[in-house]
Amino acid sequence: MVTKNLEVSLIIDSQGKICPYPLIEVKKAIKKLSSGEILKLITTDPICPDNVDSWCETTGNTLIRVDNHGDKIDIYVKKG
């Protein structure tokens, strides 16, 4: 699936959930991907981008982009 020039391998919809639940879902899902593949997280939690960014820094994954669409936030993570 191509999303704004990114080849997304997996999408997680965590709308309505607050951290740490979206981050827990990211941790589980990233294990299913191969190195270099991209995960898209859809969330409504405004704290989630910071939590995912911190997690990426400690795990070797890369936060590629955060797109804010009003209440909805799309977070793109590349598996390291």
Place of tokens 């951290």: 19
Please tell me the number of Cα atoms within 13 Å of 63 on its side-chain side: 19
Tens of pLDDT, residues 43-53 = 999 999 999 99
Quick check: 3 pLDDT over 60? Answer: no
> Which among 8, 10, 11, 19 is annotated as catalytic?
19
56 in catalytic set: no
The helix/strand/coil state of 18 is: coil
Rounded to whole angstroms, the Cα distance separating 52 from 3 reads 19
Chain mean position to CA 6: 13
What pTM did the predictor assign? 0.92
- Contact (CB, 8 A) for 1 and 52: no
* Domains recognised in the chain with CATH numbers: 2-78 (3.30.110.40)
Of the pLDDT bands very low, low, confident and very high (cuts 50, 70, 90), residue 5 is confident
Quick check: 6 pLDDT over 60? Answer: yes
Average pLDDT estimate for 30-44? 97
